[in-house]
Amino acid sequence: MPQIGAGANINTPLPCTGRPVREILVSEEDLERYETDVELQIYREYHDVLPMFRFVIETERRFYLANRVDLKTREAGGSVFFEIELEDAWVWDMYRPARFLKSVRVLTFRDVNVEEVEHPEFKPPEP
C-alpha cells in the first residue's frame, strides 16, 4: 500500500478533516473531467453573455469580451509591446471566480486580436 508521510497510508485519517487520505486524493482522470466540465460551463456562459459586448479581444494568455477597448503600441528599450485597456469586460478564465470585470489593463509583447462583434438582432430599424 502506498505510504503517505511517516507511517501513514491512504486509509489513515487526516487530522484536519478526519477523512482518510484515499478520499481526498484526486486522480488525473478526475482532474481532467473537472477541467472539461468547467470549460464547458465557461463556453455556455460565453455564449450567453456575448450579445452584451461590443468587442472580442484575444491575447496569447486570455480571451476577453468588452464594451470599450483602447489598444496602444508602446516601445521600451528597443522592444515593442502592446497596452490594452478594457472597460466593462468579461474574461475567459477557469481559475477566476468572477469573470465580469469593471476595467482591465493588459501588457503583452505578443499578438493582440481585436474584433468588433456584429449583433444584427440589435440593429435599429430602418427609417
In this structure, what C-alpha cell is assigned to residue 107? 501588457
**What would the pLDDT profile of 17-46 be if each residue is shown by its tens digit?**
666 655 556 678 877 888 888 889 999 999
Q: How far apart are the first and last CA of the chain?
A: 78
What Å distances lie between residue 27 and 10, 19, 102, CA to CA? 14, 17, 37
Q: Backbone phi, then psi, for 62, in 5-degree steps?
A: -140, 165
Residues 54-80 as b or e (16 or more Cβ within 10 Å = b): ebbbebeeeebbbeebeeeeeeeeeee
pLDDT, residue 35, reads 84
CA-angle at 21, arms to 17 and 23, nearest 5°: 85
**What would the pLDDT profile of 58-90 be if each residue is shown by its tens digit?**
999 999 999 999 999 999 999 999 999 999 999
Alpha carbon distance 111, 106 (integer Å): 12
pLDDT for residue 52 is more than 70: yes
pLDDT for residue 108 is more than 60: yes
Starting at the earlier edge strand, list the strands of the sheet with 113-116. Answer: 100-108, 79-92, 63-76, 55-58, 113-116
pLDDT, residue 56, reads 96
Alpha carbon distance 35, 92 (integer Å): 13
Share of the chain above pLDDT 90, in %: 51
pLDDT, residue 11, reads 65
Assign 55 a pLDDT band (cuts: 50, 70, 90): very high
pLDDT, residue 8, reads 55
Is 39 in a helix, a strand, or coil?
Answer: helix
pLDDT, residue 20, reads 62
pLDDT for residue 1 is more than 60: no
